[in-house]
Structure 1
Amino acid sequence: MTSVAPPTQPADPQAAVGGRLDVSQGAALTIGAVLGTGVISLPALAVHAAGPASLLAWAALLLLSIPLATTFAALGARYPDGGGVSTYARRAFGARAATVVGWCFYFAIPIGAPTAAGFAGAYVADSLGGGRQTQLVATGAIIALVAAMNWFGLRVSGRVQLVIAFVLGALLLAATLVSLPHADLRNLTPFAPHGWLAVGSAAALLVWAFAGWEAVTSLSAEYRNPGRDIGRATGIAIAVISVLYLGVAFATVAVLGDHPGKAPLSDLLVLGLGEWARPVTTVVAVLLSVGAINAYFGGGARLGAALGRDGSLPAWLAHGSSAGEVPRRSLAVVTLGALTSLGVLTAGGLSLNAPLLATTGAFALVYAVGTAAALKLLPRGSWVRRGAAIGLVATLGLLILTGTHLLAPALIGAGALAWTTFRRGARPAEPAPA
């Protein structure tokens, strides 16, 4: 029988001081996790679906992301621990729920990593004039780069992420500002050419641009002062993401009109700066991928170590589960899993986007369990608890939209339940009620 490490209670928020992440690095990691590669193509897809009214979909999803972001920030500040959402589920619902949601998150990361890296890989291939082989090589290189960054700990990956966030924000802001002189307000009419219901269709497309708030919960114990810094970092991230998303979305509509190309960000840069700026889009795509995968690898590695510590995975993974340590064993599992997923997709001749909806289905389940746990753990009558209720309703709607793609997380959850069933006598003690 596989041995397990003795269970460890999550650290007390007031005692968990002395991690390595400061507010700026935490904000950069959060921005990187949420600001995915979809910002390059989704604005155009949303315009095709709803016309200028797609701006309403962007605004609505930004408003809905606020309660989700503040909910996970409040949980992280109160219960800073590498287990993230798994820790909240353990406190609220017990070990089985914690294992299921922990497995769904942990194993979804290596499954979805080739998709996140492959988007940038496609831009690299187009820029270099290569085909699928170039895309696959670039995808593997991005995964290896992010793994190397995290191998040396958050002191390195956090600083790199800070640089990436700054450069990325500057490029996206520049694309908006240099193109605005070419804006034509007549492009805003008719405002809803496909009807008002099309705003819902656009929102369904844009949902994937707002995932990531849950990814940094597993980094909560790494903040120097979680109770103070997590909320500040989240607030900065919300403000920056709102400005960048709305800026690019508005410029896409007002400048490019109702028939933008597949890469509107590239078109905006070319309009403002000339054709020489088109390769910059490749740089943006690579930075977006590296930033997003870096946050997920960092949080996922700590989640795996915490799951090993708590008995939800083999105790071998628990090495590095304490704040300030580097969970290299768990990181190696995530990296090997990501490269294996890439190998399977390559050998099968499958698109690198094939795992996309299955991965987002797993993350939607994590959102649902996390917000449900918040309703039990956060103070009654508080605004953040009311926000958790809104977030829960929104994520349940997202689960409905995911539909049959929940099969993959269901299979992962079944494996988690089998683990808890056959790990006889080794179940960790339940934590005291929050």
Structure 2
Amino acid sequence: MSLYSRESKDVDADDQSAPAAAGSSGLQAGLKNRHLSMIAIGGVIGAGLFVGSSSGIAAAGPAILLSYVLVGTLVVMVMRMLGEMAAARPSSGSFSEYADQALGRWAGFTIGWLYWFFWVVVLAVEATAGASILHSWIPAVPQWGWALIVMVVLTALNLVSVASYGEFEFWFAGIKVVAITGFVVLGLLAVFGILPGSKNPGAGLAHLTDAGGFAPHGWGAVLTGVLMVVFSFMGSEIVTLAAGESDDPRRAVTKATNSVIWRIGIFYLGSIFVVLTLLPWNDASIVERGSYVAALESIGIPYAGGIMDFIVLTAVLSCLNSGLYTASRMVFSLGRRGDAPRSFARTTARGVPRNAILGSVAFGFLAVWFNYQWPESVFDFLLNSSGAVALFVWLVICCTQLRMRRIVERETGGEMAIRMWAFPYLTWATILMILFVVGYMAFDEAGREQVGLSVVAALVILCVGLLRDRARTRADRPRADRRS
């Protein structure tokens, strides 16, 4: 089956003069290797790492490290599976297209629209977070004004060309990478008494056990921590969508997949380890100031709060930029397959899916408005109904890979750039782990509403997809009869 065998070839009139498109999709191969490398590295560093880790530390103590290890292992497994498929069949629709081909139209339709929904809600969250920081710096501009400015600027960047998205992401993801790497290096130097002038010299590893032990709230808190940190890992799969707009997608996907272990090890485990060794987990400043600010202040870094605000702002803008890119490419792919309005599948002469971008940002603007108008009702509903989408996406990737392995091996003669380890045993183990986390969420008071509403959202989209499939089947039957 051809990768685009069921896709629409509907394009704008101005596309006829466009240069060769990536994967014959109408998109342009405008992303360079350095863009994809930084997208891959920065994709696992979201704003949630900087601002959300303190709540996880408060809930599980030093044992939160195990929560990050468990979720990190899950992400490594899922990325290995996705990398196997993406290296063989690079596509702007990534796992949604693979699910379409391996499991059925209903699967690609459902997971594609769920993923799009997740990211357009993220647009509102990140725009509001960025506006809050900018308003604290320049209060003359109202917070909603900053949210509008941020959304308009990033929309304009994405509308210019994919290269402008890649360039912006290269520099902003670069700031995140440099910041977190510097934090880990400085922190480790302070922990082992090597950093000159540190206010907290030679802390060593004592803080991992000196405040009630390694698991002060019991080992069950590790699972609670898993629920709190799992969503901060969403974004590592973006590089497989972006690879479809590069000159050498297989090389990009292979490189990103092979490097995901050290990226998670350094940026997540390394940075949280530094926080937990510099300060007792129950230090009040971790919650009051944020884990990273508290750690920097503990070793005497001046203006730690302002520095971290700038880093968080870059993380927010990077996430917002990638969210808009990802949502637009997913709905573009859905449009090409006839699972979204055909207009979303049109591209400009620069290979930009303009309608897909504008449609995605329009819902993002609407969600921002909901956030300011009804933050505790409508917007909370949007957040909760997209809360478990990350787990659903990972589950579909696992199930898809079980079927796609045979298809890919048949097409390539068994020669594959990336292979899932210990197939199919690790794939099944990952599926069981994801189902366990979803089940635990259903019985956890804090996660019950999220998983319940997310399941409802998934079922609604699934029903729409099944009805569309049935309607297509009925429409195709008379055509087949006429041909016969």
Please give the range of the TM-score, normalised by the shorter of the 2 chains: 0.7 to 0.9
Which one of the candidate residues 447, 453, 465 is aligned to 1:405?
453
- Rounded Cα–Cα distance in structure 1 between residues aligned with 2:122 and 2:24: 35
2:147 aligns with 139
Corresponding letter in the other structure for 1:325: G
Cα 1:41/1:107, change in 2 over 3 Å: closer
Which of the numbers 401, 425, 432 marks the counterpart of 1:374?
401
C-alpha distance in 2 between matches for 1:248 and 1:79: 35
* Separation in 1, partners of 2:135, 2:382: 20
Q: How many residues are paired up?
A: 419
2 CA distance for matches of 1:299 and 1:426?
Answer: 32
Structure 1 counterpart of 2:162? 154
Deviations 1:332-354 (A, max 9, x none): 10011100111122222448666
Equivalences for 1:252-331 in 2 at 5 Å? 252-260=275-283, 261-262=286-287, 263-320=290-347, 325-331=351-357
How far did 1:243 drift?
0.4
Q: Residues 90 and 98 of structure 1 are in contact (CA less than 8 Å); yes or no, is this contact kept in structure 2?
A: yes
Residue 44 of structure 2 corresponds to which residue in structure 1? 34
Name 2:207's counterpart in structure 1.
Answer: 187
* Distance in 1 of aligned mates of 2:438 and 2:307: 36
TM-score (normalised: structure 1): 0.86
Tell me the distance in 1 between the aligned counterparts of 2:145 and 2:275.
31
Q: Secondary structure at the match of 1:325?
A: coil
Post-superposition offset of 1:376: 0.4
Partner of 2:225 in structure 1?
Answer: 202
In the alignment, which of 203, 215, 219 is matched to residue 242 of structure 2?
219
Letter of the aligned partner of 1:286 in structure 2?
A: L
Q: Which stretch shows the higher mean deviation, 336-345 or 24-33?
A: 24-33
Q: Which residue of 1 aligns with 2:420?
A: 383
> Are the structure 2 counterparts of residues 237 and 124 from structure 1 closer, same or farther at C-alpha, using a change threshold of 3 Å?
farther
2:173 match: secondary structure: helix
2:383 & 2:46 partners in 1: Cα distance?
13
Q: Distance in 2 between matches of 1:280 and 1:296?
A: 24
Cα distance between partner residues in 2 of 1:357 and 1:214: 21
**What is the CA deviation profile of residues 1-24 of structure 1, one whole-angstrom value per residue up to 9, with x for unaligned ones?**
xxxx96269xxx999998233333
- Output the CA distance in 1 between the equivalents of 2:138 and 2:230: 31
Residue 178 of structure 1, CA deviation: 3.0
Question: What do residues 373-421 of structure 1 show as CA deviations (whole Å, max 9, x unaligned)?
Answer: 1110025895344444343333323433253132233333334444444
Equivalent residue, structure 1, for 2:374 = 348
Equivalent position to 2:185, from 177, 181, 185? 177
Distance in 2 of aligned mates of 1:426 and 1:126: 58
- Name the counterpart of 1:116: 126
Percent identity, please.
Answer: 21
Query: Aligned to 2:359, which of 296, 309, 333?
Result: 333
**3-state DSSP class of the match of 1:160?**
helix
Look up the equivalent residue of 1:230 and give its one-letter code.
Answer: V
8 Å Cα contact 2:8-2:335 kept in structure 1: no
In structure 2, the CA distance between the partners of 1:116 and 1:418, relative to structure 1 (3 Å rule), is: farther
What secondary structure sits across from 1:360 in the alignment? coil
Tell me the amino acid that sits aligned with residue 153 of structure 1: S
- Is 2:104 the counterpart of 1:94? yes
Normalising by structure 2, report the TM-score. Answer: 0.77
Q: Which residue of 1 aligns with 2:193?
A: none
* 1:99/1:312 contact within 8 Å kept: yes
C-alpha contact 2:239 2:256 (8 A) present in aligned 1: no
Which amino acid in structure 2 is aligned with residue 224 of structure 1? D
Q: What root-mean-square deviation, in Å, do the aligned CA atoms of Structure 1 and Structure 2 show?
A: 3.2
Aligned to 2:71: 61
Summarize the Cα distance change of 1:286–1:420 in structure 2 as closer, same or farther, 3 Å threshold.
Answer: farther
Which of these two proteins has the greater Rg computed from alpha carbons? 2
Structure 1 residues 162 and 376: CA distance shift in structure 2, 3 A: same
| Alignment partners' CA distance in 2, 1:277 and 1:268 | 9
User: What is the Cα deviation at residue 142 of structure 1?
Assistant: 2.9
What secondary structure is seen at the aligned counterpart in 1 of 2:273?
helix
Distance of aligned partners of 1:246 and 1:108 in 2 relative to their CA distance in 1, 3 Å threshold: closer
Runs of 4+ in 1 over 6 A off after TM superposition: 13-18
Equivalent-residue separation in structure 2 for 1:203 and 1:65 (angstroms): 12
State which of 426, 431, 450 in structure 2 corresponds to 1:392: 431
Q: d(CA) in 2 for partners of 1:30 and 1:354?
A: 31
Q: Is the 8 A contact 2:49 2:232 kept in 1?
A: yes
Matches of 1:212 and 1:299, distance apart in 2? 9
Q: C-alpha displacement at 1:158, in angstroms?
A: 0.9
Please state how far the C-alpha of 1:319 moved relative to its aligned partner.
0.5
- Equivalents in 2 of 1:60, 1:362: separation in Å? 18
CA-to-partner distance for each residue in 1:100-133, whole Å, 9 max, x for gaps?
Answer: 2222122332233212332333333445568xx9
Query: Against the structure 1 CA distance between its residues 195 and 140, is the aligned structure 2 distance closer, same or farther, given a 3 Å change threshold?
Result: same
Tell me, yes or no, if structure 1 residue 425 matches structure 2 residue 475: yes
338-347 or 409-418: which moved more?
409-418
Aligned in 2, Cα 1:14/1:285: closer, same or farther, shift over 3 Å? closer
